[in-house]
Structures are given as structure tokens and as C-alpha cells.
Amino acid sequence: MTEGAIVYSFIPLLAILCPATAAILILLSSKRPNVRESWTIIAGVLQFSLIASMIPTILNEEVIECTFFQTMFTGIAFGFKVDAFGLIFALTASFLWILVSFYSIGYMRSLREHAQTRYYFCFAIAIFGAIGVALSANLLTMYIFFEILTVSTYPLVIHDQSKEALSAGHKYFAYLLTAGVFLLFAIMMTYYLTGTTDFTGGGIKALAELGPAYKLTLIILFFCFLLGFMKAAWMPFHSWLPTAMIAPTPVSALLHAVAVVKAGVFGIVRIVCYIYGVDLMTSLKLGIALACIAGFTMIVANLFAIAQDNLKRRLAYSTINQLSYIILGAALLTQDGVRGAMMHIPFHGFMKITLFLCAGAIMVVTGKRNISEMGGVGKTMPVTMLAFTITAFGMCGIPPAVGFISKWYLCMGSYEAFLQISPVMITFLFVLLIASLLDVVYFFPIIHTAFFKTPEGVVGEVEVKVKEAPLFMLIPLSITAILSVVFLLDYILGLNIISMYIYKLVEVAIENVGLIP
């Protein structure tokens, strides 16, 4: 089969319909909790299986399409197109949904949370939106699922229904619905200028052919897209994310590792590589502008993180920082830079979800939310804190977790940009190194407090009683931590057991956007 051959299939549609169907069944099973939660798990497993079944076709450098209809006046198709980059995001989101679903059962039952049916329903619709974003064939389809994702996560943010939660939800809506206006405008302008909104490896050719007369228009259009993707939480449009930490911990994991913010950075990489293309981005010097935004966000977010005592808020600012690693990788416009950005989407997902699940486990068992209160937690909850420590190392780019690999490629991409684009680009290598050092500054004190400090008010030696979270919570966070290590070992040792699919998909994606001749 020649490169880029199209395979028509209903598998993308079936995969997307899994959580939508589960949402309906969850509502119908509201009075039977075991049945309600079973639908969530069944849908998650089935969806992941369907998405994983598309891997061989995509690795064969084919593209899977599923089109429903074309609008009468514009001819824009509504449908799905599965390529390597979209499949990476879809695999990550669908697999982590399964684990978060199990975790949610333990979390919601342990705290006897209210409105659990609403919670599981909105969670399923959110995954429906995220997978729709991942598999969209064009900007219009992506926009529809983007807004579904925004609306469905609002009830999750305000789940507590407290004054603080409602305020956080209003802020969340204000930012992301405003972003939707900019995104829709950018899509309309793209169609007006090119007659299409389809994602194309290397960018839309008609956009690149507009010429110097449209330079200012193309620059303004690009920044409208950036504003449209506020879900990426780049500064100064970031404050909705720490505020949303009022939500239950599984929701925080959904926001930060699985769906919402990942959809934001996924969208930015789509624009850079599949709408504008590397050549047009370079000629307009938009790569440097985007890299400056990302670099600023990385450093400032880390400084904010250092000042936070609340664990979830510190992790929230860490997320803002780590998302900008992905944005920076795309902005470098080099083979290794984009490779590192694409790899960091799944790798950050596995590591960050572990950290949030650990934070939730600590809160359920001890009731503690602030880092200063967590003295001795590492001795009473050794499995939880070991998982936290491993993935915190990975977030800093330190083995044994897989964050080392994506950060290595990002650094190499910065050096490539220095050689190929501009000497100024070497600056971003130092930004990456400084940001990683700041990661150490705010992660290591958490580990030190948990393992080497005694609880407040305790003097001398005390008997340590191990008490971990329920297995429904402990097993998912252990799996994500273990996989974070396995991905690294798999790559270094060349075992090609699990992570080979991610690495191969990334290589196909890099080739599709024209960075590999």
C-alpha cells in the first residue's frame, strides 16, 4: 500500500460511540451503583480495544477515514480521520480512562460523594469529546468535540456545589467559552482563505501559497488559533486551571492528564504541523514567537509552583509548565523537537495522572491536602509515595521514569533549531534545563517531607502503621507508575514489548508532517 493510502472504516465511529452509549446507560442505571459503574468500565475497555485495533493500519502508513456528511453550502465534511498523531492521543486518553474509572469507584465510595450518577455521566461525555478531538478529520469536527469537552467538564469542576466550586466553574466557563469564540473565528478565516479546514501533513498548501501580501493576516490568524486553544493553559491565560483544583481528584486527573489540557496542546500541535506546516511557520517566524510564549510559561509556572503549599495546586502549576514543554517542542520546528513534543503527550499523561491519583489517595486516607502537613506519609503509605517519587523524578527528566526520553529529544530539538533555524534558538535549550532544575526544586521537598519528616506534634520514635488507600485506588496509580518505568526500559533496552507502538506511531507522524524526508 502506498504512503497515505485511505482505508474507509466505521471503527473510529464505534470507538467514539462507546462512551456516549455508556453515558446513556449510566443514567438508566442511576439507582443501581454496581451496574452503573460496570457500564463505565465495559465502555472503557471496549473503546480502548477498538482504538488499539487501528494501530497496524496506521503503522502501515495508511489513514483511516469515516465521513458522515458534507455541509450543503461549504462542502466541509463532518467525520473522522485517524492518523498516527491522533491515534497517540486517542490511545493515551482511552487507556487512562479505564484506570481513572476504577480509581473513581474507590474514591467516590470512600468519601461517599453525592451526585455520583451525574459524575460518571459527565466523565463519559468528556471522554467522548476528547476522543472526538483526537480523531477529527478537520477543524470543524474538532471544534464541535472541543466544545462538548468544555461543556461536559463544567459539572465536574463544580461537583462540590460549594461557593468556591461554583466560582471556579464560572471562571472555567468564562475562559474556555471565550476561547471557543476565537477558535471558531480562526476556523472560518482558514476556510475563507483556503476553501478547506482539513488536516494535512505538512500544512494546508493553499495557506502557504497566499504570499507576502497575506503575512499580517496569517500572523493574526495564528494567534487567534492560540487564543482558541486556551485549554493548553499558556500564560497569561492559565488561571482557570489552578482554580479548577476544587474539583474531586479524579476530575483533576482528567483535566490535567487525560482530556482537557491535552486537547489544548494537541490542538496547537495540529495547527503548527497540519494547518500551517513547518515551512510556513519558519518563514513567518511564528516558531520563535510560539517558543517565547512557551518558554515564559515554563519558567513562570514553575516559580508559582514553588510557592504552593496545597499539593494539588502545586501539581496544577506543574501541569502548566509541562504543557509548555509540548508547545515548545512543536515551536522548535525540528525533527527532534516535534518528536519530543509528540512523545511528551502520552508520557506526561501517565506521569501526571499518577501524581494526581497519589494526591487523592493521601487525601482519602489522611485527610491532608497541604505538603507541610504530610510529614511521615511516606512511611504510612509507602506504595503510594513510591509511585509519587518515581513519576516526580520523571517529571524532572530523571530516570527511572519515561520523562527522561521526551525531555532528551526536546533538548536535542533545541540544538537542531540552533543549527538549522537561528542561533537565537539555543536560548531554549537553557530554558529547558532551567525549567527542569526548577521541577526538582518543587518536587523534591514533597518527597523529603513525606519520607524524612515526622508528623506535626510528634516527638521521638513512633510506631508506623501502614495504611494504604482502597485497592480500587491503589492499583491504578501503581499501574501508571510501573508503566512510566516500563516505557523507559523498553526504549533503552530495545525490548519493544509495549512502548514500541508509541515510538513507531511518533515516527510515522514525524514522517507525515514532512520532517523525515
Q: Over the stretch 268-297, which tens digit does the pLDDT of each residue have?
A: 999 999 999 999 999 999 999 999 999 999
Residues with Cβ within 8 Å of residue 241, at least 6 apart in sequence: 233, 255, 256, 261, 316, 319, 320
Structural domain contains residue 497: yes
Element (H, E) at 57: helix 55-59
Amino acid at 260: V
Could you give the angle at the alpha carbon of 267 between the alpha carbons of 209 and 485, nearest 5°?
130
Residues 101 and 114: beta-carbon distance below 8 Å: no
Q: Which domain holds residue 227?
A: 5-512
Select from 58, 59, 61, 60 the least CA-distant residue to 82. Answer: 58
- Tell me the C-alpha distance between 307 and 303, whole Å: 7
Residues 439-492: tens digit of each pLDDT: 999 999 999 999 998 876 555 555 668 889 999 999 999 999 999 999 998 888
- Helices 11-28 and 33-52, axial angle in degrees (round to 10): 180
Instruction: Report residue 23 as a C-alpha cell.
Output: 453515558
Over the range 423-440, which residues count as b (16 or more CB within 10 Å of their CB) and which as e?
eebebbbebbeebbebbb
* pLDDT for res 175: 95
Assess if residue 517 is contained within a domain.
no
pLDDT band of 252, cuts 50, 70, 90? confident
Confidence at residue 1, expressed as pLDDT on a 0 to 100 scale: 31
The arithmetic mean of pLDDT across residues 7-12, rounded, is 92
What is the pLDDT, as a whole number, of residue 97?
93
The domain total for the chain is 1
Mean pLDDT, rounded, for 102-121: 89
User: pLDDT digit string (tens) for 300-359?
Assistant: 999 999 999 999 999 999 999 999 999 999 999 999 999 999 999 999 999 999 999 999
The answer to whether 141 and 79 have CB atoms below 8 angstroms apart is yes
When the pLDDT of each residue in the chain is averaged and rounded to a whole number, the result is 91
User: Is residue 210 in some structural domain?
Assistant: yes
Q: Is residue 103 part of a domain?
A: yes
The CA distances from residue 172 to 3, 235, 351, in Å, are 42, 15, 24
Q: Are 142 and 270 in contact (CB under 8 A)?
A: yes
In order, the DSSP letters of 307-330 are T--BHHHHHHHHHHHHHHHHHHHH
What's the pTM value of the predicted model, to 2 decimals? Answer: 0.94
Q: Let me know if residue 321 belongs to a domain.
A: yes
Give me the percent of the chain exceeding a pLDDT of 70.
96
In 345-490, DSSP assigns E strands to none
Please give the Cα distance from 41 to 26 (Å, whole number): 11
Q: Is residue 307 part of a domain?
A: yes
